[in-house]
């Protein structure tokens, strides 16, 4: 029997006083629909919005599960499309405190490692699949410099090391999603996308694997 690719999919808890995070909502719904994904062995989890806590939890999950693919989702208020991030930078730099109260300014994620990692997900094909499903998608060149970028960089570094050890490509990347309609009152004037559309978009992207 052919071994199915093992995929780890994560979202984030709400942050900055918000009551919801679309990435959490998407992952929780998909985790209840695992029977749809017959082409992969899918594992789901929710990360804290904390630099250290999110990295520690994600790397522990990766080390335990040894997945073939890691996909992290995160909220990006102001975006109108499902955004497949292309590059993670070695920088924590945000005015916003994480959920643990930590503020990081102009700080390297790992002073001993490279300046950036590129996504190793098939993001062009994934974005095309979302578009073919009738939903808006784009390739993004900036994952920011808050916790989303931090975990994108950290898991990319882990995947690169794991690939060297196993001599089998471990793919990792990050997808930013818009606010959902239920957040319109908390983020007045910001664009939203129905949660059902976002679940359909991420499901289409997963099926590419």
List, by residue number, the catalytic residues: 85, 148, 176
Q: Distance between CA atoms of 39 and 36, rounded to whole angstroms?
A: 9
Question: DSSP characters for 126-194?
Answer: HHHHHHHTT--EEEES---SSHHHHHHHHHHHHHHHHHHHHSSPPEEEEEEEPEEGGGTTTSTT--EE-
Q: Is 139 exposed, middle or buried (0-12, 13-18, 19+ CB in 10 A)?
A: middle
Cα Rg of the chain (Å, integer): 16
Query: Which is it for strands 87-89 and 116-118: parallel, antiparallel or unpaired?
Result: antiparallel
Give the residue carrying structure tokens 């993670």.
88
The answer for 24, left when phi > 0, alpha when psi is -120 to 50, beta otherwise, is: alpha
- Give yes or no for a contact between 37 and 200, defined as CB atoms under 8 angstroms apart: no
Q: Distance between CA atoms of 134 and 141, rounded to whole angstroms?
A: 23
């Amino acid at each position: 029997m052919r071994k199915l690719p093992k995929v780890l999919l994560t979202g984030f808890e709400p942050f900055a006083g918000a009551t919801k995070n679309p990435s959490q909502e998407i992952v929780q719904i998909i985790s209840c629909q695992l029977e749809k994904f017959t082409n992969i062995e899918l594992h789901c989890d929710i990360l804290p919005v904390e630099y250290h806590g999110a990295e520690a939890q994600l790397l522990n999950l990766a080390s335990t599960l040894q997945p073939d693919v890691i996909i992290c989702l995160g909220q990006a208020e102001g975006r109108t499309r499902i955004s497949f991030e292309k590059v993670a930078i070695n920088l924590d730099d945000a005015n916003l405190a994480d959920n643990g109260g930590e503020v990081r300014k102009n700080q390297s994620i790992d002073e001993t490692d490279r300046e950036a990692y590129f996504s190793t997900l098939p993001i062009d094909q994934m974005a095309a699949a979302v578009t073919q499903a009738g939903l808006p998608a784009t390739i993004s060149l900036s994952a920011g410099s808050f916790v989303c970028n931090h975990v994108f960089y950290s898991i990319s570094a882990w995947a690169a090391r794991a690939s060297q050890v196993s001599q089998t490509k471990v793919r990792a990347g990050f997808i930013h999603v818009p606010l959902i309609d239920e957040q319109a009152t908390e983020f007045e004037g910001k664009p939203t996308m129905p949660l059902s559309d976002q679940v359909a978009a991420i499901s289409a992207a997963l099926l590419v694997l």
